[in-house]
Structure 1
Amino acid sequence: MTSHVPNEARVIPMRPRATRPQARPTAPPTAVERRRPAVREPLWRDLVGGILRQERLAQERTLKEVAETARISMPYLSEVERGRKEASSEVLAAAAGALGLGLGDLLARAQGELVRLSSRHSGPGRGPGASGARFDGMCLAA
Protein backbone atom coordinates (compact mmCIF):
# COMPACT_ATOMS: atom_id res chain seq x y z
CA MET A 1 0.00 0.00 0.00
CA THR A 2 1.44 3.30 -0.99
CA SER A 3 0.60 6.64 0.35
CA HIS A 4 0.72 9.74 -1.74
CA VAL A 5 1.82 12.11 1.04
CA PRO A 6 4.53 14.60 0.05
CA ASN A 7 7.95 14.16 1.60
CA GLU A 8 7.59 16.91 4.22
CA ALA A 9 7.92 16.83 7.98
CA ARG A 10 5.14 18.21 10.08
CA VAL A 11 6.39 20.70 12.71
CA ILE A 12 4.52 20.90 15.97
CA PRO A 13 5.51 23.94 18.06
CA MET A 14 6.58 23.14 21.63
CA ARG A 15 5.52 26.52 23.03
CA PRO A 16 2.91 28.92 21.88
CA ARG A 17 4.17 31.81 19.86
CA ALA A 18 5.13 34.82 21.91
CA THR A 19 2.77 37.70 21.58
CA ARG A 20 3.72 41.22 22.38
CA PRO A 21 2.02 42.51 25.49
CA GLN A 22 -0.04 45.55 24.87
CA ALA A 23 1.14 48.69 26.58
CA ARG A 24 -0.85 49.45 29.70
CA PRO A 25 -1.30 52.97 30.91
CA THR A 26 0.76 53.59 34.02
CA ALA A 27 -0.93 54.94 37.08
CA PRO A 28 0.65 57.81 38.99
CA PRO A 29 2.61 56.70 42.07
CA THR A 30 0.64 56.40 45.27
CA ALA A 31 1.41 58.48 48.36
CA VAL A 32 3.15 55.49 49.95
CA GLU A 33 5.37 54.99 46.90
CA ARG A 34 6.32 58.70 46.90
CA ARG A 35 7.38 58.56 50.58
CA ARG A 36 9.69 55.56 50.17
CA PRO A 37 13.35 56.48 50.44
CA ALA A 38 15.29 56.12 47.22
CA VAL A 39 18.32 54.85 49.10
CA ARG A 40 18.24 51.31 50.45
CA GLU A 41 18.84 50.78 54.14
CA PRO A 42 22.30 49.47 55.02
CA LEU A 43 22.75 45.76 55.59
CA TRP A 44 24.20 44.50 58.86
CA ARG A 45 26.97 42.61 57.08
CA ASP A 46 28.04 45.81 55.28
CA LEU A 47 28.19 47.73 58.55
CA VAL A 48 30.13 45.08 60.46
CA GLY A 49 32.52 44.52 57.57
CA GLY A 50 33.11 48.24 57.25
CA ILE A 51 33.90 48.57 60.95
CA LEU A 52 36.39 45.68 60.75
CA ARG A 53 38.10 47.23 57.74
CA GLN A 54 38.20 50.72 59.33
CA GLU A 55 39.78 49.35 62.49
CA ARG A 56 42.31 47.25 60.58
CA LEU A 57 43.36 50.22 58.44
CA ALA A 58 43.51 52.52 61.49
CA GLN A 59 45.95 50.05 63.06
CA GLU A 60 47.92 49.97 59.78
CA ARG A 61 47.71 46.18 59.65
CA THR A 62 47.43 44.01 56.58
CA LEU A 63 44.58 41.68 55.83
CA LYS A 64 47.04 38.79 56.04
CA GLU A 65 48.20 39.74 59.55
CA VAL A 66 44.68 40.02 60.93
CA ALA A 67 43.51 36.83 59.20
CA GLU A 68 46.44 34.86 60.62
CA THR A 69 45.89 36.22 64.13
CA ALA A 70 42.15 35.46 63.92
CA ARG A 71 42.80 32.06 62.30
CA ILE A 72 40.49 32.93 59.41
CA SER A 73 41.39 32.51 55.77
CA MET A 74 42.48 35.75 54.17
CA PRO A 75 40.00 35.54 51.25
CA TYR A 76 37.13 34.91 53.67
CA LEU A 77 38.08 37.86 55.89
CA SER A 78 38.29 40.02 52.79
CA GLU A 79 34.77 38.94 51.78
CA VAL A 80 33.50 39.72 55.30
CA GLU A 81 35.10 43.18 55.24
CA ARG A 82 33.47 43.93 51.88
CA GLY A 83 30.05 42.82 53.13
CA ARG A 84 29.86 39.88 50.75
CA LYS A 85 29.68 37.19 53.43
CA GLU A 86 27.37 36.93 56.43
CA ALA A 87 29.90 35.84 59.06
CA SER A 88 29.03 33.75 62.09
CA SER A 89 29.39 35.16 65.58
CA GLU A 90 32.50 32.99 66.08
CA VAL A 91 34.18 34.47 63.01
CA LEU A 92 33.20 38.01 64.00
CA ALA A 93 34.51 37.45 67.54
CA ALA A 94 37.80 36.09 66.18
CA ALA A 95 38.25 38.99 63.76
CA ALA A 96 37.34 41.56 66.41
CA GLY A 97 39.68 39.88 68.91
CA ALA A 98 42.53 39.98 66.41
CA LEU A 99 42.00 43.73 66.23
CA GLY A 100 41.88 44.12 70.01
CA LEU A 101 38.12 44.59 70.14
CA GLY A 102 35.50 42.56 71.94
CA LEU A 103 32.51 41.26 70.02
CA GLY A 104 30.32 43.70 71.97
CA ASP A 105 32.55 46.61 70.91
CA LEU A 106 32.29 45.61 67.27
CA LEU A 107 28.51 45.22 67.40
CA ALA A 108 28.05 48.46 69.36
CA ARG A 109 30.01 50.36 66.72
CA ALA A 110 27.97 48.76 63.95
CA GLN A 111 24.75 49.61 65.79
CA GLY A 112 25.86 53.23 66.17
CA GLU A 113 26.62 53.40 62.46
CA LEU A 114 23.24 51.87 61.66
CA VAL A 115 21.45 54.47 63.79
CA ARG A 116 23.45 57.27 62.17
CA LEU A 117 22.73 56.07 58.64
CA SER A 118 19.08 55.25 59.33
CA SER A 119 18.37 58.67 60.81
CA ARG A 120 19.86 60.29 57.72
CA HIS A 121 17.52 58.31 55.44
CA SER A 122 14.36 58.54 57.50
CA GLY A 123 11.88 61.19 56.61
CA PRO A 124 9.30 62.95 58.76
CA GLY A 125 7.22 60.56 60.79
CA ARG A 126 9.84 57.83 60.62
CA GLY A 127 12.76 56.81 62.75
CA PRO A 128 13.23 56.42 66.50
CA GLY A 129 12.01 59.85 67.50
CA ALA A 130 8.82 59.72 65.44
CA SER A 131 6.68 57.81 67.92
CA GLY A 132 8.32 59.23 71.01
CA ALA A 133 10.00 55.89 71.71
CA ARG A 134 13.69 55.77 72.48
CA PHE A 135 15.78 52.82 71.34
CA ASP A 136 19.01 52.23 73.26
CA GLY A 137 19.29 48.49 72.79
CA MET A 138 20.44 46.20 70.08
CA CYS A 139 18.64 43.18 68.70
CA LEU A 140 20.31 40.46 66.65
CA ALA A 141 18.46 37.60 65.05
CA ALA A 142 19.91 34.56 63.38
Structure 2
Amino acid sequence: MSDHATSPAPVPLRRPARAREPLWRDLVGEVLRRERLAQGRTLKEVAEAARISMPYLSELERGRKEASSEVLAAAARALGLGLGDLLIRVHSLLAARSASVPG
Protein backbone atom coordinates (compact mmCIF):
# COMPACT_ATOMS: atom_id res chain seq x y z
CA MET A 1 0.00 0.00 0.00
CA SER A 2 1.25 3.45 -0.77
CA ASP A 3 1.12 6.34 1.67
CA HIS A 4 0.55 9.12 -0.83
CA ALA A 5 -2.97 10.46 -1.24
CA THR A 6 -4.52 10.88 -4.62
CA SER A 7 -5.45 14.43 -5.52
CA PRO A 8 -9.05 15.13 -6.46
CA ALA A 9 -9.91 15.51 -10.11
CA PRO A 10 -9.91 19.12 -11.29
CA VAL A 11 -13.29 20.78 -11.28
CA PRO A 12 -14.20 22.18 -14.71
CA LEU A 13 -14.87 25.90 -14.80
CA ARG A 14 -18.49 26.76 -15.35
CA ARG A 15 -19.45 29.33 -17.89
CA PRO A 16 -21.87 31.96 -16.70
CA ALA A 17 -25.43 30.95 -17.47
CA ARG A 18 -26.71 32.61 -20.63
CA ALA A 19 -30.22 33.84 -20.77
CA ARG A 20 -32.30 31.73 -23.12
CA GLU A 21 -33.32 33.44 -26.33
CA PRO A 22 -37.11 33.58 -26.50
CA LEU A 23 -38.92 31.04 -28.63
CA TRP A 24 -41.13 32.08 -31.55
CA ARG A 25 -44.21 30.49 -29.98
CA ASP A 26 -43.64 32.39 -26.71
CA LEU A 27 -43.38 35.70 -28.54
CA VAL A 28 -46.43 35.06 -30.73
CA GLY A 29 -48.44 34.08 -27.69
CA GLU A 30 -47.39 37.17 -25.80
CA VAL A 31 -48.34 39.44 -28.70
CA LEU A 32 -51.73 37.76 -29.10
CA ARG A 33 -52.47 38.02 -25.38
CA ARG A 34 -51.33 41.66 -25.15
CA GLU A 35 -53.53 42.62 -28.08
CA ARG A 36 -56.54 40.74 -26.74
CA LEU A 37 -56.20 42.35 -23.32
CA ALA A 38 -55.62 45.80 -24.84
CA GLN A 39 -58.95 45.37 -26.63
CA GLY A 40 -60.64 44.28 -23.40
CA ARG A 41 -61.75 41.00 -24.97
CA THR A 42 -62.08 37.56 -23.44
CA LEU A 43 -60.47 34.35 -24.64
CA LYS A 44 -63.96 33.11 -25.50
CA GLU A 45 -64.75 36.13 -27.71
CA VAL A 46 -61.51 35.93 -29.66
CA ALA A 47 -61.59 32.14 -29.97
CA GLU A 48 -65.12 32.26 -31.37
CA ALA A 49 -64.19 35.01 -33.83
CA ALA A 50 -61.13 33.02 -34.93
CA ARG A 51 -63.12 29.77 -35.04
CA ILE A 52 -60.63 27.97 -32.82
CA SER A 53 -61.26 26.41 -29.43
CA MET A 54 -60.84 28.52 -26.33
CA PRO A 55 -58.39 26.04 -24.72
CA TYR A 56 -56.28 26.05 -27.90
CA LEU A 57 -56.14 29.86 -27.96
CA SER A 58 -55.14 29.81 -24.30
CA GLU A 59 -52.34 27.35 -25.11
CA LEU A 60 -51.19 29.61 -27.96
CA GLU A 61 -51.11 32.64 -25.70
CA ARG A 62 -49.04 30.75 -23.13
CA GLY A 63 -46.55 29.58 -25.76
CA ARG A 64 -47.48 25.93 -25.33
CA LYS A 65 -48.50 25.27 -28.95
CA GLU A 66 -46.87 25.84 -32.33
CA ALA A 67 -49.70 27.17 -34.47
CA SER A 68 -50.07 26.68 -38.20
CA SER A 69 -50.04 29.75 -40.42
CA GLU A 70 -53.80 29.32 -40.91
CA VAL A 71 -54.47 29.41 -37.17
CA LEU A 72 -52.15 32.39 -36.69
CA ALA A 73 -53.90 34.26 -39.49
CA ALA A 74 -57.32 33.47 -37.99
CA ALA A 75 -56.25 34.61 -34.51
CA ALA A 76 -54.72 37.79 -35.94
CA ARG A 77 -57.86 38.53 -38.00
CA ALA A 78 -60.05 37.98 -34.94
CA LEU A 79 -58.02 40.73 -33.26
CA GLY A 80 -58.29 43.04 -36.27
CA LEU A 81 -54.69 42.42 -37.33
CA GLY A 82 -53.22 41.13 -40.54
CA LEU A 83 -50.58 38.42 -40.47
CA GLY A 84 -48.02 41.09 -41.38
CA ASP A 85 -49.08 43.18 -38.37
CA LEU A 86 -48.62 40.16 -36.12
CA LEU A 87 -45.19 39.48 -37.62
CA ILE A 88 -44.08 43.10 -37.13
CA ARG A 89 -45.16 43.06 -33.48
CA VAL A 90 -43.44 39.75 -32.84
CA HIS A 91 -40.28 41.05 -34.53
CA SER A 92 -40.32 44.18 -32.36
CA LEU A 93 -40.71 42.10 -29.22
CA LEU A 94 -37.93 39.73 -30.33
CA ALA A 95 -35.60 42.65 -31.08
CA ALA A 96 -36.26 44.14 -27.64
CA ARG A 97 -35.70 40.81 -25.89
CA SER A 98 -32.62 39.91 -27.94
CA ALA A 99 -31.04 43.26 -27.09
CA SER A 100 -31.25 42.30 -23.42
CA VAL A 101 -29.70 38.82 -23.94
CA PRO A 102 -25.90 38.96 -23.59
CA GLY A 103 -24.25 37.52 -26.66
The reply to whether TM is greater than 0.5 is yes
Q: Which runs of 5+ in 2 are unaligned?
A: 1-7
Identical aligned residues as a percent: 69
Cα distance in 1 for residues equivalent to 2:50 and 2:13: 53
Of the two, which has the highest radius of gyration? 1
1:94 and 2:79 matched: no
Cα distance in 1 for residues equivalent to 2:26 and 2:12: 35
RMSD: 1.5
92, 103, 106: which one aligns with 2:86: 106
Amino acid at match of 1:68: E
Cα distance in 2 for residues equivalent to 1:66 and 1:82: 15
- Scaled by the length of structure 1, what TM-score is found? 0.64
Q: Which has the higher contact order (CA 8 A, sep 6+)?
A: 2
Q: Which runs of 5+ in 1 are unaligned?
A: 1-22, 124-142
Aligned length: 96
Aligned to 2:52: 72
Any runs of at least 4 consecutive aligned residues in structure 1 with deviations exceeding 4 A, and if so which? none
Cα distance in 2 for residues equivalent to 1:109 and 1:63: 20
Cα distance in 2 for residues equivalent to 1:28 and 1:98: 51
1:51 and 2:31 matched: yes
Aligned to 1:9: none
Higher helix share: 2
1:117 and 2:102 matched: no
